[in-house]
Amino acid sequence: MNAETQVIDILLLGSGGREHALAKKLSESPRCGKLYIAPGNGGTLNVGENVAIDEADPEVVADFVKGAGIGLVVIGPEAPLVAGVADAVRALGVPCFGPGAAGAQLEGSKRFSKELMDRAGIPTAAYGSFDNEEDALAYVREQGAPLVVKADGLAAGKGVIVATELAEAENAVHECFSGAFGAAGATVVIEEMLVGPECSLLAFTDGITVCPMSTSQDHKRALEGDRGPNTGGMGAYSPVPIVTPEEHAEMERIMRVTVDQLRSEGIDYRGCLYGGFMLTAQGPKVLEYNARFGDPETQVVLPRLENDLVEVMLAVAEQRLADVELSWCDEWAVTVVLTSAGYPGSYEKGKVITGADEADAMDGVTVYHAGTTQEGDELLTSGGRVIAVTALGETFEAARDLSYAACDKIEFEGKTLRHDIGLRALRGREAWEQ
């Protein structure tokens, strides 16, 4: 057996719906031997072995990699990336999918990201960054609303406040500096509010070559009609029908410029680069960068990828991505997230989940577990975002209808969901201009 077909054992870090999607795709590869997921969830038990180690501790992960003879490490969430887990793995000479701590600052520090975009000439919102509340409030009052107030560090997707009124922006600044987001709010970035539809473009990159994935669009707000607080994501679809070829080409150009800028500054970025874009009247502008796969974008993008994911990730880790050509199925994908009552605020855990296997058995449907845990014969809720239900269809409408039909089969006390995932895109570009 040559090196190109050798079976390898894989360690995947993370516990959410994104990781279940990655685990399922990795397990489909003929190159995937033993698949460990740390710490995993109730769904990843079915495709690999969950291991109880601290995925954000570089030393702990490195020790496990050595002891288990791991041949590839895949890092799902942002916290291990920012903590430098990829650096510790690469120091062992083991292939790793995910940027080191330096590259992960693209997500770990919004100030770092904005300053890098400035240096690269990348179109993004005008901004100011502040280390104290007094100066931040003065900037807010000078600029006036609407504004977007962001905690600089990692805040699990919740440290971004879109303020349409001045008082709302002032309150957001106070919230950041009062410790609501912990150390993440010690620095605050305040941006102009861009207007237009959002679009996520994820890309594989080995630090030299950039291979964009298919477009997707997340639904961040908790309530229907894009109202309520920001969440980690309530649903998504892929591809995004309203994106023009010119916009797509510009987003790809921006992603390549970003990787070139990182490399020019001595940062070796290997993994997934996630570009969050606003499709403005002046063209696509970067809202934010993430240093990993999105959630729930992963759940709609990966089912449409026809390549062997292990092969692609090894090509990224070994800087051979120029040899890879990505292939996508023509079907549409829609995912709807089922959440615990109260999310993204406080919620109860331990609710019994029924119907997940029945939904997953439907033709064209995949159920991705996020906040679930298996206790004996029972599947229980253990998080805010509990399950993501993804459906593939020949048309956008067919995929959407199938996803909601599958959602109806799954029950747990307090189950909540948005019923309008994808509706806006079905109405066309003008839906964002009303």
Nearest-angstrom CA–CA distance, 144 and 163:
10
pLDDT at 278 (0 to 100): 94
Q: If you write DSSP's letter for every residue of 259-299 in order, what string do you get?
A: HHHHHHTT----EEEEEEEEEETTEEEEEEEESS--TTHHH
pLDDT at 40 (0 to 100): 95
Distances (CA, A) of 277 to 149, 156, 201, 244, 417: 17, 19, 8, 13, 25
pLDDT at 237 (0 to 100): 96
Banded pLDDT at 153 (limits 50, 70, 90): confident
The residue among 416, 419, 362, 368 whose CA lies nearest residue 393 is: 362
pLDDT at 218 (0 to 100): 93
Nearest-angstrom CA–CA distance, 389 and 373:
17
The percentage of the chain sitting over the pLDDT mark of 70, rounded to a whole number, equals: 98
The residue among 370, 358, 371 whose CA lies nearest residue 407 is: 358
Strand ranges (DSSP E) for 241-396?
271-280, 283-290, 332-339, 352-353, 365-369, 372-375, 378-381, 385-393
pLDDT digits (tens, 9 = 90+) for 268-278: 999 999 999 99
Nearest-angstrom CA–CA distance, 83 and 33:
27
pTM for the whole thing?
A: 0.93
Partners of 283 in the beta sheet? 280
Nearest-angstrom CA–CA distance, 281 and 157:
26
The encoded tokens of residue 334 equal 């829609």
pLDDT at 159 (0 to 100): 78
Average pLDDT over residues 110-139: 92
Confirm if 304 and 238 have CB atoms less than 8 A apart.
yes
Confirm if 136 and 113 have CB atoms less than 8 A apart.
no
Sheet holding 160-163, edge to edge: 127-130, 188-192, 147-151, 160-163
Which amino acid is present at 201?
Answer: L
- In order of their start, the domains of the chain are 9-98 (3.40.50.20), 132-186 (3.30.1490.20), 198-427 (3.30.470.20)
pLDDT at 215 (0 to 100): 95
pLDDT digits (tens, 9 = 90+) for 345-358: 999 999 999 999 99
The SS3 call for residue 404 is helix
Which amino acid is present at 426?
Answer: L
User: What end-to-end distance do the CA atoms of the chain give, in Å?
Assistant: 60
Nearest-angstrom CA–CA distance, 301 and 25:
11
Nearest-angstrom CA–CA distance, 47 and 34:
10
pLDDT at 1 (0 to 100): 41
Q: What is the CA radius of gyration of the chain?
A: 21
Structural element, H or E, at residue 44? none
How big, in percent rounded to 5, are the helix, strand and coil portions of the chain?
35, 30, 40
Q: Which of 70-79, 156-165, 334-343 has the lowest mean pLDDT?
A: 156-165
Average pLDDT over residues 145-151: 88
Which amino acid is present at 139?
Answer: Y
Confirm if 290 and 203 have CB atoms less than 8 A apart.
no
